[in-house]
């Protein structure tokens, strides 16, 4: 990652470190790993376009693996994954062409949100769908929906955050749609709190709307920039999600763009400052002031749940790409291909937001560890910085429609670049399997 060489970075200068070679891997680990891989990796050996389109579930075993494909060598897969695990930073890399993408479209997937259904609104080009992420030190496999659903069988995953989090969930539903569609098991009619259920896999996917992560309310629908002024209670849990997480195995948190908006910052129910509120005698702080405290409070909420035992994943923010003006001043995102990592650097406010997230993540992780809780980073920022071509721009609505974000350079077209977040997520879940296998083998001695 190009950002900085700071020691706090989750990755970066670790590519020199030697990976554990297969020879030095303890036998027990290898066996456990092998079993895990056989259970979960096997469907990878179907070329993607040959996936059966039925909803039959796959219970792969070593025997069927052998008959499925004569080129199947489980050991090779073990080596590759160990390699990834020990020395490859999957979040640092480049976009490379992928003629096989996309893996769904707006006709095969109903889950695409209106404003991200770029085909429907006439986006003429399709090259932006045809890239995959290539980490510098290894390969990131394209998402395998069968494998994913096997791993999350009998489990549950919740997205907590803003509309980019919803964007990610819809991408995941579309990526899984070749295997199965979920049924709606929402407990409220509020579209911001959806609950989806995969019947064949007993897998629950939920979304909790909380763009600031903390308790907040709209103080005025207008405000200094005419897109709302918010009261943010920076030290208060947003109980709409914090009281609901206990049953979940995975939480994917995200937050970002809403902190650009004017806000009054409260601590202890007292105004301590604001962001661009234009009120006399109230200290104006940079947006990272509220951002830092809000993320800290969210992690504190998670760490304070007695019954929560899940893994907390922070999906780092995805930069927006307005050029030629701000979002409300005619700015737009018209590029047609990704940047190379040499062409753009995370800097300015984006860098500050990113570092704030990483610092607060490390802090939350440390506190969580004391309670036996796991924290992981889905570090999407660098890969998304390189994708100015993946936003809806003016293809998120009909040309004559009156919408707030006329040129949308914040969200992501589906299909599109954030389908890669499912690749990242699956990779992380596989690593999780390896880690727990390792932990078990350490316990055994």
Ligand X SMILES: *[C@@H]1O[C@H](CO)[C@@H](O)[C@H](O)[C@H]1NC(C)=O
Q: How far is the CB of 171 from ligand X (least distance, A)?
A: 15
Query: Taking CB under 6 A as the rule, does residue 280 contact ligand X?
Result: yes
CB-wise, 71 or 107, nearer to ligand X? 107
> Which is nearer to ligand X, 178 or 321 (by Cβ)?
178
Q: Minimum Å distance from CB 249 to ligand X? A: 7
Stretch binding ligand X (CB under 6 A), from 23-31, 112-120, 351-359, 424-432: 112-120
Out of 156, 171, 357, 420, the only residue in the binding site for ligand X (CB under 6 A) is: 156
* Site of tokens 């650009």: 260
Sign of torsion, CA 328 329 334 339?
negative
Known active-site residue 411: yes
Bridge pairing between strands 203-209 and 311-315: unpaired
Nearest approach in angstroms of CB 139 to ligand X is 31
Burial of 359: CB neighbours in 10 Å, binned 0-12, 13-18, 19+: middle
**Least distance (Å) from ligand X to the CB of residue 31?**
27
Does 84 engage in binding with ligand X (CB under 6 A)? no
Quick one: which of 220, 194, 213, 215 has its CA closest to 205? 194
Instruction: For ligand X, give the closer residue by CB, 19 or 273.
Output: 273
The helix-helix angle for 287-303 and 348-370 (nearest 10°) equals: 20
Q: What is the DSSP letter of 316?
A: -
Contact between 154 and ligand X (CB under 6 A)? yes
Cα distance between residue 39 and residue 158, in whole Å: 24
114 binds ligand X (CB under 6 A): no
Contact between 393 and 408 (Cβ < 8 Å): yes
Q: Is 441 a catalytic residue?
A: no
264: nearest Cα among 254, 272, 279, 274: 274
Distance from the Cα of residue 283 to its chain's centroid: 34
Residues in the chain: 445
Q: Does 281 bind ligand X (CB under 6 A)?
A: yes
Q: Which is nearer to ligand X, 154 or 370 (CB)?
A: 154
Among 87, 113, 120, 130, which residue sits at the site for ligand X (rule: CB under 6 A)? Answer: 120
Question: Is position 343 an interface residue for ligand X (rule: CB under 6 A)?
Answer: no
Q: Closer CB to ligand X, residue 4 or residue 177? A: 177
Span interacting with ligand X, options 8-16, 70-78, 148-156, 358-366, rule CB under 6 A = 148-156
Q: Taking CB under 6 A as the rule, does residue 106 contact ligand X?
A: yes
Longest dimension (CA), the chain: 74
The terminus-to-terminus CA distance of the chain in angstroms comes to 36
Q: Is 187 helix (H, G, I), strand (E, B) or coil?
A: coil
Size of the site for ligand X (CB under 6 A): 12
d(C-alpha 100, C-alpha 50), whole Å: 12
| Site string (398-427) toward ligand X, x via CB under 6 A | ----x-------------------------
Say whether residue 220 binds ligand X (CB under 6 A).
Answer: no
Residues that bind ligand X (CB under 6 A): 106-107, 117, 119-120, 154-156, 202, 280-281, 402
């Amino acid at each position: 990652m190009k950002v900085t060489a700071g020691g706090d970075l989750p990755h970066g200068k670790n590519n020199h470190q030697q990976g554990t070679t297969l020879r030095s891997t303890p036998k027990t680990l290898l066996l456990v790993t092998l079993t895990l891989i056989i259970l979960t990796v096997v469907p990878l050996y179907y070329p993607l376009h040959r996936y059966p389109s039925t909803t039959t579930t796959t219970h792969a075993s070593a025997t069927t693996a052998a008959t499925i494909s004569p080129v199947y060598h489980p050991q090779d897969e073990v080596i590759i994954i160990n390699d990834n695990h020990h020395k490859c930073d999957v979040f640092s890399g480049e976009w490379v062409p992928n003629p096989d993408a996309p893996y769904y479209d707006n006709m095969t997937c109903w889950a695409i949100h209106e404003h991200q259904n770029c085909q429907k609104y006439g986006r003429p080009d399709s090259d932006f769908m045809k890239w995959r992420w290539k980490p510098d030190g290894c390969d990131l496999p394209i998402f395998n929906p069968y494998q994913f659903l096997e791993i999350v069988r009998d489990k549950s995953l919740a997205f907590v955050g803003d509309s980019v989090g919803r964007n990610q969930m819809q991408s995941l539903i579309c990526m899984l749609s070749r295997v199965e569609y979920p049924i709606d098991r929402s407990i409220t009619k509020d579209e911001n709190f959806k609950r989806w259920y995969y019947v064949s896999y007993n897998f629950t996917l939920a979304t909790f709307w909380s763009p600031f992560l903390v308790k907040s309310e709209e103080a005025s629908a207008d405000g200094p920039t005419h897109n709302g002024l918010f009261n943010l209670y920076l030290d208060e849990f947003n109980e709409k999600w914090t009281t609901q997480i206990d049953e979940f195995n995975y939480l994917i948190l995200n937050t970002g763009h809403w902190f650009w908006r004017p806000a009054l910052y409260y601590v202890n129910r007292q105004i301590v400052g604001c962001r661009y509120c234009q009120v006399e005698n109230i200290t104006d702080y940079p947006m990272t002031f509220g951002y830092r405290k809000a993320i800290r409070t969210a992690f504190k909420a998670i760490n304070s749940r007695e019954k929560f035992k899940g893994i907390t994943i922070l999906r780092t923010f995805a930069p927006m790409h307005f050029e030629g003006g701000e979002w409300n001043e005619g700015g737009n995102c018209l590029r047609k291909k990704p940047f190379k990592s040499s062409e753009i650097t995370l800097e300015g406010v984006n860098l500050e937001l990113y570092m704030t997230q990483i610092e607060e993540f490390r802090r939350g992780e440390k506190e969580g560890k004391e309670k036996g809780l796991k924290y992981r980073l889905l570090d999407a920022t660098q890969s998304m910085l390189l994708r100015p071509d993946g936003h809806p721009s003016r293809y998120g609505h009909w040309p004559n429609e009156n919408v707030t974000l006329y040129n949308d350079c914040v969200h992501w077209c589906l299909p599109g670049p954030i389908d890669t977040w499912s690749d990242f997520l699956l990779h992380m879940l596989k690593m999780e399997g390896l880690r727990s296998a390792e932990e078990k083998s350490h316990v055994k001695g």
